Amino acid sequence: MNKGQSDITQSILYSYDINHRIGTIFPDSAILDLQFNIISISHNILEATGFDSNEIKGNSVSILSSTPDFRRKLEDWLMPGYFEDQSIEVRCKNSKMLTYSISGFYMGLIADINGLIVLKFKNQDDIRLVNQELAAKTQELDDFVYASSHSLRGPLATLKGLINLATLTQNQEEIAFLLQQMTTFADKLDDKLHHLIYVAESDKSPLSDTRELSIQSIFLTLSKSIREASVDFPVDFCCPVFDQQQVIEKGQEIFSMLKNLVLFFCQQPKNKENMLVLDIHSGSSATEVMICSKGFLFSDSLIEKIENVNFGYSEILNFPELLNYYATKKIMNKLSGNVQFMLLNEEEVVVLMTVPRVAR
């Protein structure tokens, strides 16, 4: 092979390597030749549309779009050399349609050799969902800041007033009384700050402990927590599950969620006879958990707050007894599951929880 043939061979190999690796350099993209045939396409676009790479590569880019004359539109959009944020309907293999925003450009100097075009894809449905979640989080944070500022200002203003009064008197009995009042309101302020920190930490901390646990170990550890928390009347806690040796996926996380839930029950007013019954079943697609309670007394205002699915930070300040239930819901959200609180009558409550299993 002479030098000229070697250079041509190297050029062909280089061109092949660039064409097939360029898709890994540009995520969320499709790489086209100048005839608008697909050379390379990102894995996440294939996953979203359901196509296999072999079904896409070598075909006209029109295979992805239901837009009439899509190729001609691309040619028009690329007349200046690039374009941005054009909305198109992308066709999936199952005939479902997805809305994407696309931008495109020629590869510059490389295009002079290989004739490549890059199309960048943005899933508009994903963008809308992210924007909705961001708006909800922003609103929740605004409500939290407003509620916390008012909740903290009350005891703080009272504390400052008591300090001011203490500076205006020399009477030792009055000073002792004012100091006692200061201690009371300082404790209230400390309690509210504790709740704020607890909520903030529970909201931002990721679930990292994914150990499996047996139903028996979950039950025994919860039993100890209930005994320690029930300082007024003891709680009869049982778990009538036939196979308590069964291992639960995400066991540590589910245990953390259940511990918050049973502590929530234990903090409520009780009758002299009360009980909690735990039932856990791990199926092929989800872990189902049910807690039945009897003898716990829930106020109408508390039930109203529990039934408000979207209660958030501001409610915790006004209803600190919701703190553990709030933590339960936060953990469940991170597990991508759901929790349902049902009041059967004045003294009987059932809580149903579903935690999806990890796909294998």
Which residue stretches of the chain are H helix? 3-25, 43-49, 53-56, 70-77, 109-114, 124-166, 172-204, 215-229, 251-266, 300-307, 313-318, 323-334
Statement to judge: residues 218 and 337 lie in one domain: yes
Q: Which residues of the chain, if any, have pLDDT below 50?
A: 1-20, 22-24, 109-113, 205-207, 360
Statement to judge: residues 75 and 196 lie in one domain: no
The burial class, CB within 10 Å (0-12 / 13-18 / 19+), for 75 is exposed
Phi, psi angles (nearest 5°) of residue 188: -65, -45
Statement to judge: residues 65 and 147 lie in one domain: no
Task: Give me the residues paired with residue 99 across strands.
Answer: 89
Please choose, from the candidates 264, 251, 201, the residue with its C-alpha nearest in 3D space to the C-alpha of residue 221: 251
**pLDDT tens for each residue of 260-297:** 898 888 888 887 788 999 999 888 888 899 999 988 88
CB-based contacts of 302, cutoff 8 Å, min separation 6: 319, 321, 322
**pLDDT tens for each residue of 244-266:** 888 888 888 899 889 989 888 88
pLDDT at 2: 47
Can you give the CATH number for the domain in which 157 is found?
1.10.287
Statement to judge: residues 44 and 149 lie in one domain: no
Which range of residues forms the domain containing residue 106? 3-123
Statement to judge: residues 244 and 300 lie in one domain: yes
User: Can you read off the two tokens belonging to residue 80?
Assistant: 């200046």
pLDDT at 289: 92
Statement to judge: residues 246 and 196 lie in one domain: no
Continuous segment of H or E residues that includes residue 33: strand 29-33
Residue 203 · residue 330 · CB < 8 Å = yes
- The three-point CA angle 112-114-118 to 5° equals 90
pLDDT at 279: 92
The burial class, CB within 10 Å (0-12 / 13-18 / 19+), for 112 is exposed
Domain end (from 183, 204, 225): 204
Domain end (from 204, 235, 267): 204
pLDDT at 316: 64
Domain tally, the chain: 3
Statement to judge: residues 218 and 350 lie in one domain: yes
